[in-house]
A = this chain, B = another copy of it.
Amino acid sequence: MAIDMHVLGQQAKQASLVLRQMDTEAKNHALLAIADTIDANQAVILEANSIDMEDGRKAGLTPVFLDRLNLAKRLQGVTADVRRVAELPDPVGQEYEKRTMPNGLQIRKRRVPIGVLGVIYESRPNVTVDVAALALKTGNAVILRGGSETLKSNMALVDTIRRALENAGFPADIVQLIRDTDRRYVSDLLRLSDYVDMIIPRGGSGLHTFCREHSTIPVITGGIGICHLYVDETADLDAAVEIVHNAKVQRPSVCNALDTLLVQESIADGFIPRVAERLAQDNVELRVDEQAAALLAGAANVQPVADGDWDMEWLALILGIRVVPDLATAIAHIQQHGTAHSDGILTTDPVSIERFLNEIDSAAVYVNASTRFTDGSQLGLGAEIAISTQKLHARGPMGLEELTTYKWIIIGEGHVRP
């Protein structure tokens, strides 16, 4: 039967109006109730998950994909995360920028929930619980649309969450799932601007582009990172080898992993063979320009760079290497090929540091550190809903505060405008 998305929208809006009146204590109580109910309901959830897994195996999903689907060893971690969200400070209700105007009008801003979030994501069912918890904590209702491979797991999780919400005295419709993975419901969700205030896509660039092109609701795009490190002649080269290795190898499948290494010409002879040797230990494949190729003649796993390679987010153990004469060329390369996600300079020269920090317009700009730190937990946010690479609202890792907006509060004593 067709889903009436307007009804989902109305229910979410209505639930959000009730939710925004709940205080921090009540919200934390509900979060703990969700964690407890998931724990108590493990058997049912894992049974649903095993059906998804079985269907996935039959459909020929890759082992990597199946692993992301699998809740069996993860459910403890999922409920632990919910309990951690309960312990985080609540941004809602904070007041700031208080002032009294010369006419006596008192003005301040108060942090408030955004309202209703639409979150569109792919395989991992733990995202369902994660997003529900962050939305609840920040006073937002949420409409979830997960991947078709995890529909049964998501239904079991959302049923459990909704039961816990009701038992805690909250409207179940704070968390709703689109229980049909027909793509038309994604299109419908993106046009529910009467009810939904923000769309968060979590997935590949295709999903982000689709949302940006079809949504009438503000979309937080991001997650696509073509990340660069530039090593100049003043850099501590021992540290640089380890930073490059870490940025590429520590978790190559994620958006903040390194994609292209830029090396200043004057140190290329010494540095490039060293870094290549370190990366070869982990079977990193290199795509290199002519100058680098000359330094790596005969090495395994080295290919000449091909058209379009500088524009690749590899998400794999592959690294582009280019030799550049100077900082200006490095900056120009990043401006041309980067996605404004995470880019860094390895140097000891303060002038180059300041120039790089000024001219590289990325969500996260690094000096002498691995790009892998672009992450809510690593940057002290306590939680992360997404990484934004657009310019409005929030940039980089988004935590609880970024799931709120503000209202102006204006208190007069009969004030009229002259």
Chain A interface (Cβ within 8 Å of chain B)?
17, 20-21, 99, 101, 105, 107, 110, 112, 114-115, 193, 197-198, 212-213, 216, 218-220, 236, 239, 242-243, 245-247, 250, 335, 344, 357-359, 361-370, 372-374, 378-380, 390-393, 395-397, 405-417
Contacts and interface: CB of A to CB of B under 8 A. Distances in A.
A274 B100 CA distance: 31
Contacts of A247: 416
A392 B393 contact: yes
Nearest to A219: B218
Nearest to A396: B408
Given A107-B380, A243-B414, A368-B413, 18 more contacts: A17-B335, A101-B380, A105-B369, A115-B391, A212-B216, A218-B218, A220-B392, A242-B416, A361-B407, A363-B407, A363-B408, A366-B410, A367-B412, A369-B416, A370-B415, A373-B412, A373-B417, A379-B408
Contacts of A417: 246, 250, 370, 372-373, 378
A110 B357 CA distance: 9
A255 to B, nearest CB: 14
A280 B393 CA distance: 44
B212 A21 contact: no
A258 to B, nearest CB: 11
A299 to B, nearest CB: 24
Contacts of A407: 361-365, 395-396
Contact of A412 (B21, B361, B366): B366
A372 to B, nearest CB: 4
A357 B408 CA distance: 10
B236 A374 contact: no
A369 B243 contact: no
B368 A415 contact: yes
Contacts of A218: 218-219, 390-393
A346 to B, nearest CB: 9
A198 B105 CA distance: 32
Contacts of A198: 391-392
B395 A405 contact: yes
Q: Which 3 pairs between the two chains have the least Cβ-Cβ distance?
A: A369-B412, A239-B414, A246-B416
18 contacts: A99-B380, A101-B380, A112-B361, A197-B390, A197-B392, A198-B391, A213-B216, A218-B218, A218-B390, A218-B391, A236-B414, A243-B414, A365-B407, A370-B412, A370-B415, A372-B417, A374-B410, A392-B393
Nearest to A375: B417
A388 to B, nearest CB: 10
A89 to B, nearest CB: 14
Given A198-B391, A335-B17, A358-B20, A411 B368 contact: yes
A365 B193 contact: no
Contacts of A415: 243, 368-370, 373
